[in-house]
Structure 1
Amino acid sequence: MLAGWRWLDRIGKVTPGTHAAAQFGSFGAHSSIGFPSATLMNTGSIHVGSGVIIGRQATLSVGYWPDYPGLPERGLVIGDRCVLGDRCSLLAHESIELGDDVWFGQDVFVCDASHGYQDPDLPVGNQFGSHVPVKIGAGTWVGHGAIILPGTTIGRNAVVAAGSVVRGEVGDHCVVGGAPAKLLRRLEPGVGWVGRRGDVRPVRRGHFGEEEFESA
């Protein structure tokens, strides 16, 4: 049974050269989507960069249903070398864009639309809200179980703590966390990483912080 599952896992992945990959708007070299996926819908409007790894049970979709009319050409764009953990859900209706080297933990949810509620006689699920683009800058890390709401813009090399609910604008080199997410720390050039109470952590260089950069 295990051998059979390994075989299914190998042939079930979406990789360049497979029929499934050919249905995407573009699908870069050395990229893969793990098997099984949860939902891959209207993939012609989805663009996946090179060297992207997307985990199992992922949902990538554009529009409200298959062959939804008026689909955007680039509804969901994932940059190069992104890593999206298992069970991530990215639901685009107008535009969700991830820059290069964006990493997600597991169970991250991103959507560019919500539901209305103002008609008291219509089920909320049938009240479609406005579409507001979402953009996540290059090099950003989004922790396990975070939720990125419509209209959010996150800058470059930012950090979103696990379990956070993010709405609005997050600047470059900022650390945010909580529900709703609040600024926890930001990089001030020549000073270091400054917390909300004014404490400073030094800048460190290298993958594992081997070198310490002097704080001012």
Structure 2
Amino acid sequence: MRRRYGRDILVSVASARVLPHRLRPLVLRRCGVEVGVGCQLREGIIVDNATSGDLRLRVGQGTYINSDARIDTAAPVTIGAEVSFGPGVRIVTTTHALGTSDKRAGELTSRPVTIGDGSWLGAGVMVLPGVTIARGCVVAAGAVVTKDTEPDGLYGGVPARRIRDLEPSERPSRPATSAGTGPARPRRAPTPPSGRR
């Protein structure tokens, strides 16, 4: 009990907005989360497991998880390498079996979630229990992914469906509703008009 309490405090520290993002992976590693090299984890990330307390989460190298993501680890969650999460992404591993009319939320069940290498989940995406998002997929902002995806596809909607194929080397333009969901990219300073300094 004492060990879980200490870990819960560290998880709270990891989500704090005042903690520099470079320290977040270190704090989560102390909690038992596997975090790859070069990951960027922004503020407000919540990693929890209300059922057993174990944090069964693996994050591959070079992955970017934007602010206010919530990852339920009642079942294992595997996030591949070079994955990008927009703000407010939700990974859910628990659900309830359908109960009787007296109580429709029946027995609690959990199933693992896997996010394939190189995938990009836009702002507010929700991934439900048991889903595998295949390698190289883009999931548009606000989509709810209820079933497995195929590699290299653009998915969107509620429930998410495949909108089009993506070539493995193709760089899709940002979905219009997900601006600002990827890692910050450096911008060039404007060039002064000729003759002025």
Query: TM-score if structure 1 supplies the norm length?
Result: 0.63
Aligned to 1:183: 162
How far 1:11 moved relative to its partner? 9.8
Counterpart selection for 1:96 from 69, 72, 77: 77
Aligned to 1:200: none
Q: Structure 1 97/11 Cα, relative in aligned 2: closer, same or farther at 3 Å?
A: closer
CA distance in 1, matches of 2:117, 2:41: 17
CA distance in 1, matches of 2:59, 2:163: 27
Q: Any stretches of 5+ residues in structure 2 without a counterpart?
A: 1-17, 172-197
Q: Any stretches of 5+ residues in structure 1 without a counterpart?
A: 1-7, 26-45, 194-216
User: Any idea what the Cα deviations from partners look like across 1:129-165, whole Å, max 9, x if unmatched?
Assistant: 3211111100000000010001111111110000000
Q: Structure 1 112/15 Cα, relative in aligned 2: closer, same or farther at 3 Å?
A: closer
Counterpart selection for 1:174 from 153, 169, 179: 153
Residue 171 of structure 2 is aligned to residue 164 of structure 1: no
Q: Which structure is higher in RCO with an 8 Å CA cutoff and minimum separation 6? A: 2
How far 1:120 moved relative to its partner? 3.3
- Matched letter for residue 73 of structure 2: A
Residue 64 of structure 2 is aligned to residue 64 of structure 1: no
Q: What CA RMSD, in Å, does the superposition of the two structures yield over aligned residues?
A: 2.8
Which contiguous aligned blocks of 4+ residues in structure 1 show a shift greater than 6 angstroms?
Answer: none
How far 1:105 moved relative to its partner? 0.3
- Matched letter for residue 58 of structure 1: I
CA distance in 2, matches of 1:82, 1:12: 13
Residue 62 of structure 2 is aligned to residue 81 of structure 1: yes
Q: State the identity %.
A: 27
How many equivalent residue pairs? 154
On the 8 A contact 1:152/1:168 being kept in 2, the answer is yes
- Matched letter for residue 50 of structure 2: Y
After superposition, residues 197-212 of structure 1 pair within 5 angstroms as: none
